[in-house]
Amino acid sequence: MDNRPVGTRQARDLLRVAFGPSVVALVIIAAVVLLQLLIANSDMTGAFGAIASMWLGVHQVPVSIGGRVLGVMPLLPLLLMVWGTARSTANALSPSTSWFVARWVVASALGGPLLIAALSLAVIHDASSVLTELQTPSALRAFGGVLAVHLAGAVIGVGMRMHRRIAALPWVPDWLPEAGRAAAAGVLALCGLSGVVAVASMVVHWGTMHDLYGITDSLFGQLSLTLLSALYVPNVIVGTAAVAVGSSAHVGLATFSSFTVLGGDIPPVPVLAALPTPPLGPIWVALLIVGAASAVALGQQCARRPLPLSAAAAKLATAAVLSALVMALLAYAGGGRLGNFGDVGVDQATFAPAILLWFVGVGGLTVVMAGGISQVRKPRPVAARKVGPDPVADDDGFVGDSESPTVVMGSPGPAADPDPARDEVDLDPDPVPEDEAPDEPYYEPEPVPRVREPRPHDLDDDPEAHFVTDDDDWPGATSGEGRRPAD
């Protein structure tokens, strides 16, 4: 249990987020640089400038030495920096953290690296006065690269810890987290299968890799080439992914695709032995299966929860766009100018569109076949149940209910309903469809007794026949009874 005050604990978390990943990277870079200088039996002149340049190089900032630009930086340190920033940001947050605290954490994740970037630029500018071959990089490119790398890590960290609250926002569709997981599955499948193909190609071209190791005879030199190759493995995987989806990769004048290979000079890095050599065999065309399999993985993730057609299409399109965007950013970060060899990278004009084509086409077919589209069933019409009686009209034109007849003095009342519960309203919330409802008994409505009103007296009748005298009693009448009419 942490017994420190809240303010002290939060300040420590913010410092860890701001400087933790960057300081760890500086320590590792410093150890490598000092070990290199020590083995080379060189003095420590310009060590700080080299450390600062390599730290900026981790953020894909080109390094210029003697007029030659090293713009192709390894992607592995970049990915480790993004992962470290995301992990430290996620550890400083909790699912119930307020958005105000989350903004401060993100600001710390960006502010600390930007401060170190400013110090690195100052150190490189100072070291360039001693080492004339070392040139100060562009400040805009340096701050832009550092900001982009740590912003990506901070956003990933916030999403990892607070994804439930983000999904609960009113303007966020409920399928957006599923689209993010599908995009991650598609990217991982594409990179993983491309890595398998790259390793298999290195095994096939083992002789070429042995020749590349032959440029040095020292054990330290071979270890340095091995470490350099390990750092550039993600770059090779991205290039293989470009070839797998139908695009192309190039190293200077050498161009590689699934359909053609144009030879050229390549740098002496053993990991580049995975590049195909002309003439191109038909086996490389089968590399397109990697793109199709990655699209299937994305489609299966999109089909885990069936949705209506419009929502399923939106989720698939969002996942495909996110995957293409991530791969395009990785390809941009892993490319650049490599001294006299020229530009190294992939064809950005066809790389992202090819990924979109595979993921939307094959992924959409997978969603349909895997049942990712739900059927919207229209409600079946249900016949309204008869609650009240039918109207009945008599001979005089009076319209009334069969069970509520007009009551006239001296007329008998309506017969009792044999089933009083028939008039109660059915409150069943889930009515049975008409074709499945049981047959109800049919009740014949009771006839309405018709009572004719008395007709008016005939004016021709003798009025004396209606007179009653006091002396004329009814035969057999007793005292107090009514009188009989006169004869």
**What is the rounded CA–CA span in Å between residue 127 and residue 50?**
9
The answer to whether residue 203 sits within a structural domain is: yes
The yes-or-no verdict on residue 27 having pLDDT over 50 is yes
Q: Within the chain, what is the greatest distance between any pair of CA atoms? A: 161
Rounded to two decimals, the pTM is 0.73
Task: Please indicate, yes or no, whether residues 226 and 124 belong to a single structural domain of this protein.
Answer: no
* Domain match, 231 and 152 both: no
Count of structural domains, the chain = 2
75 and 333 in contact (C-beta within 8 Å)?
yes
Distance between CA atoms of 250 and 86, rounded to whole angstroms? 32
422 within a domain of the structure (yes/no): no
Tens of pLDDT, residues 147-173: 999 999 999 999 888 888 888 888 888
Instruction: Please say whether the beta carbons of 376 and 336 come within 8 A.
Output: no
Residue type, 275: L
Residue type, 78: L
Nearest partner of 148 among 281, 329, 309, judged by Cα: 329
Clarify whether residues 252 and 128 are in a common domain.
Answer: no
Residue 314 buriedness (CB in 10 A; 0-12 / 13-18 / 19+): middle
State the pLDDT confidence band at 301, using cuts at 50, 70 and 90: very high
Percent of the chain with pLDDT over 70: 75
Q: How many C-beta atoms lie closer than 10 Å to residue 289's C-beta?
A: 12
Is 45 inside any structural domain? yes
Average pLDDT over residues 161-186: 88
Q: Is 421 domain-assigned? A: no
Q: Is 384 inside a domain boundary?
A: no
Band of pLDDT at residue 219, cut at 50, 70 and 90: confident
Residues 5 and 116 in one domain: yes
Claim to verify: residue 122 and residue 207 sit in the same structural domain: no
**pLDDT on residue 377:** 63
Is 315 found in the same domain as 195? yes
256-265 CB contacts, 8 Å cutoff, 24+ apart: 258/284, 258/285, 258/287, 258/288, 259/285, 265/341
Same domain, 98 and 140: yes
C-alpha torsion sign, points 476, 478, 481, 484: positive
Sign of CA dihedral 224, 230, 235, 240: positive
- Domain range for 68 is 1-172
Q: Give me the amino acid identity at 61.
A: V
Is residue 402 in a domain?
A: no
167 and 214 share one domain: no
Residues 122-154 have pLDDT tens digits of: 998 888 877 777 788 889 999 999 999 999 999
Give, rounded to a whole angstrom, the gap between the first and last alpha carbons of the chain: 120
Final residue in a domain of this structure, among 146, 172, 198: 172
Considering only CA atoms, which of 194, 213, 315, 217 is closest in space to residue 271? 213
Q: Own/partner pairs for 399-403, CB < 8 Å, 24+ apart? A: 400/448, 402/445, 402/446, 402/448, 403/445, 403/446
Instruction: List, for residues 61-104, the tens digit of each pLDDT value.
Output: 988 877 778 888 899 999 999 999 999 999 988 888 888 889 99
Phi, psi for 101 (deg, rounded to 5): -65, -35
Task: Using DSSP, state whether 286 is helix, strand or coil.
Answer: helix
Return the bridge partners of 346, or none.
249
pLDDT at 477 over 60: no
- Per-residue pLDDT reduced to its tens digit, 279-293: 777 777 778 899 999
139 plus 197 within the same structural domain:
no
Q: Tell which wins on pLDDT, 415 or 198.
A: 198
Q: Does 109 map to a domain?
A: yes
The last residue of a domain, from among 350, 376, 402: 376
Strand order of the β-sheet with 68-70 is 68-70, 63-65, 134-135
Is residue 125, in this structure, part of any structural domain at all? yes
The C-alpha angle with vertex 384 and arms to 378 and 385, in degrees rounded to 5, equals 140
Determine the pLDDT at residue 402.
47
The reply to whether 184 and 142 lie within a common domain is no
182 lies in the same domain as 266: yes
Q: Are residues 156 and 301 in the same domain?
A: no
The domain boundary residue, chosen from 172, 207, 228: 172
